[in-house]
A and B are shown apart, each in its own frame.
Chain A
Amino acid sequence: MAIIERPSAEIAVAGAAPTGVKPSEALGVFKRPAASTSWKDWLVTVDHKKLGIMYGVAAFFFFIVGGVEALLIRLQLAGPEGKILSADQYNQMFTMHATTMVFLFVMPMVSAFANYFVPLQIGARDVAFPRINAFGFWCWLFGGIFLNTSWFLGGAADGGWFMYAPNSSTLFSPSHGIDFWVLGLQITGIASLTGAINLIVTVLNMRAPGMKLMRMPIFTWMTLVVQFLLLFAMPVITVALFLLSFQRSFDATFFDVAAGADPLLWQHLFWIFGHPEVYILILPSFGIVSEIIPVFSKKPLFGYPIVAMSGAAIGFVGWGVWAHHMFASGLGPVSVAVFSMATMAIAVPTGVKIVNWIMTMWGGKLSFTVPMLFAIGLVVQFTIGGLSGVTHSVAPSDTQQTDTYYIVAHFHYVLFGGAIFGLFAGFYYWWPKIFRKQLSESLGKWNFWLMVIGMNMTFGPMHILGLQGQPRRMQVWTEARAGEGFFNIGFWNRIASLGSFILAVGVLLFIINIIYTHKSKKVAIAPLDPWDARSLEWMTANPPVEHNFDSIPTVNNLDEFFHRKYAEDPNTHEVRQVATAEEVLAELNAHPDEHIHMPSRSYWPILVSLSLPIICYGLIYNRLLMGVGAAFLLLTMFGWAMEPSTAPDDDFDPPAPGEGGGHTKELAPLG
């Protein structure tokens, strides 16, 4: 198969359709899909930016699903003897709320940002393995949908998001809910693992010339650390999920206490994954605010190397603390002491970051735009959550706190007040780059303040509730057992439930902001660089062209984009603007690269991933269906293997009349 390199006069965004498509020496079963602008393009795209948008939209949809699940919980606990949810429904609700928020909102939303921005931040044109990237997305989406079909197929999983054994066995949970949970997470896990391999290779191997590791933006650094965490943590939960599914589906005895099993095996396997998982959830938001705070303080990040290294340190030490989730499980004093000390140690690199962010703002020219407000919100609220975390590290103290609402307060402060506020900061910050308009600042401020008030009103009282003795996963409270005095369990539950609805209104305002911004004719198209930012992703069009950069920039500094706009007078040390963003971009595009190799669209990622839920439905309901799914998997994997990552030009379905042919693609396989 000859590979021809064809010179192009210009990089046309909407080039001519290939005329007279001849039968190709296609290796695969189908001809490649041609470029098009219809919705079908999204099904076969391998473009990291489109995949990022799809991850983001779907993840936000699941955020709403998880949020509704939370509101139902809070409605149930809003008054004594709540009748909204039965005990069984309540179990399903808190299990699915957590599962949805962790696996179907925060993790994929992080993927959305990482997919969209990491290649741009390092000056690359896409990720290392674009088809695997697409495959990962479709696996995640189908896994998430599969998981949620359990609601309609006999009930959702009801064992809590950490699914402790032996409660998770068929004896105690006979519906198929947990089977859907186990298999759904296995499918979504493929997305995490392949995404990790993809992004690690991308960051190590596809940086622009001069983009040394210590010149990468912190968001990319944190993403790199997170991918290593995913790479090594996902297999551990994979083992745990296989053991559980073998027990439930094939009567293996792994967690059968009568056969001599030790329930702690599940806990260890789950938490060896689970603790790195929480750093997977928070580090990207740390990365986002590390971008935002310098921009809106008009100062470089204080202690850049320390911020990068402390992220790596958190990732490393995070492997040594998992059993702090098991202090009350009977591990014994030696184990408890070891893990208690390790947990105290990990507070240090985290505290270092807080100091660095504050020192970045100190003496800076602060502008309190909405992204900056959310970023500062993370700093404050994560600190609060981190402090309660430090109290957990003291094992005797944790013995009282564990399995109470005090823990619920802790992790919602770090996850909602921390991770999710970081994501919202990212939404407002990067919105103009992706969607060409800046979200309304005034609506954004309402969004922010209602979320702050709602969040603190919901989760603040939970510290008190925990210390008053309210256990986790408690379906109902009564006046008789709510304790003495006015400020008893009943009072704080009412406050928390009220807060949760204020929080919901805050989130609703975000959605309204999006609708308003894009429907309104009064909101202008955003300039290229609305925030006067510092990193390479802003050195592109709004939104970036398909190949990201007309010419790959050579990087000479940390905060390269900033250094192209501003110069420091060597004598007076005065910093002056020497170029606008538009001028910088124009200069970059003055000599576009001649041979741009972009990966080609492909049917295979979505087809291969479709086989997985088929296999899993088959495992639950009909073994023949499993066989059909497995055969489909095998065939589609062969189809994929035979297809080169970049197509010869004649290997396309001719585009429908009237549809653009996309730009001329050059040929040669990517690395």
Chain B
Amino acid sequence: MADTALAHGADHGAPHTTTGLSNNKLGMWIFLGSECLLFGGLISTYMLYKGRASTGPQPDQIYDIPFTSVSSFVLLMSSLTMVLAVSAAHRKDDRNTNLWLTVTALLGATFVGGQVYEFTAFYREGLGFTTSLFGSSFYTLTGFHGVHVTVGIIMLMALVGMVRKNRIPGSKAETVELIGLYWHFVDIVWIVIFTLVYLIPS
């Protein structure tokens, strides 16, 4: 009757779980499921209000589709580099893991830089946060997304440092994989935002 299900953790990698799946990975996926509700709410608010600019510029007057397309492409490619980082981590190749993590962070920073540039350009053209409903909801939605990307960049850089110093508590490959899941999620949210916000005019 005595059960040693929780024993021998250090020898065999992960402790046993009922589903056989990692606790951390399960936790990350359900967290991402809940984030769908968060971004869904922000996107819906934008969709409701994008046509309501009683003052200030309208969406089709202000968006710079070519510029944003380049930004979107950059973020999409950062998903590729992230997946290469995860692949390197599974191969226990620390050097390439860090290489690809750094490139991902740089691409992410480029994206955020592009967002900052875009926001300042819009502001100069008359679209402020408080100008209109369109302004408030646009900046809130893209701002939340940008903050998520920034948090991702911070996590990536922290991960690079911890990989280098060999200071990851737990499985290195899994940690990289889970940060990768978060990063890809931020990318797929942008896939939706790029279409609904930018490409579909009001």
Contact = CB atoms under 8 A, between A and B. Distances in A.
Given A250-B130, A591-B1, A235 B10 contact: no
Interface string B26-57: 11001101110110011001001100101000
Given A246-B140, A252-B130, A259-B52, A235 B35 contact: yes
Nearest to A258: B54
A604 to B, nearest CB: 12
B154 to A, nearest CB: 8
A296 B135 CA distance: 61
Contacts of A670: 9, 15, 23
Contact of A265 (B45, B140, B144, B166): B45
A14 interface: no
B4 interface: yes
Nearest to A197: B27
B15 A251 contact: no
A668 B9 contact: yes
Interface string A235-259: 1101110110011001111101001
B41 A671 contact: no
Contacts of A590: 2
B46 to A, nearest CB: 11
Interface in B140-154: 140, 144
A260 B133 contact: yes
A231 interface: yes
A231 B30 contact: yes
A201 interface: yes
B34 A234 contact: yes
Contact of B140 (A200, A242, A554): A242
B41 A205 contact: no
B34 A206 contact: no
Contacts of A233: 37
Q: What class of interface size applies to chain B in its complex with A?
A: 35 or more
A260 B3 contact: no
Contacts of B135: 253
B34 A552 contact: no
Contact of A209 (B5, B27, B49, B166): B5
Given A553-B3, A588-B1, A671-B15, A235 B31 contact: no
B19 interface: yes
Contact of A239 (B2, B17, B41): B41
B168 to A, nearest CB: 9
Interface stretch (A159-167, A426-434, A638-646): A638-646
B30 A200 contact: yes
Task: Point out which of A204, A234, A235, A592 has the most chain B C-beta atoms below 10 A from its C-beta.
Answer: A235
Interface in A584-615: 587-588, 590-597
A196 B7 CA distance: 27
A254 B133 contact: yes
A125 B30 CA distance: 22
Given A193-B34, A231-B34, A593-B3, A243 B45 contact: yes
A182 interface: no
Contacts of B37: 232-233, 235-236
A489 interface: no
B6 A250 contact: no
Given A197-B30, A209-B3, A252 B129 contact: yes
A24 to B, nearest CB: 13
Nearest to B175: A641
A313 interface: no
A269 interface: yes
Instruction: Rank and list the top 9 A-B pairs by shortest CB-CB distance, nearest first.
Output: A668-B9, A644-B169, A239-B41, A591-B2, A235-B38, A235-B37, A671-B23, A205-B17, A252-B136
Given A205-B21, A232-B37, 17 more contacts: A1-B169, A5-B8, A197-B27, A205-B17, A209-B5, A235-B41, A240-B41, A247-B136, A253-B132, A261-B133, A551-B2, A593-B7, A642-B169, A644-B169, A645-B169, A668-B15, A669-B170
16 contacts: A200-B26, A235-B34, A235-B35, A235-B41, A243-B140, A253-B132, A254-B136, A260-B49, A260-B132, A261-B52, A265-B48, A551-B1, A594-B7, A597-B15, A642-B169, A671-B17
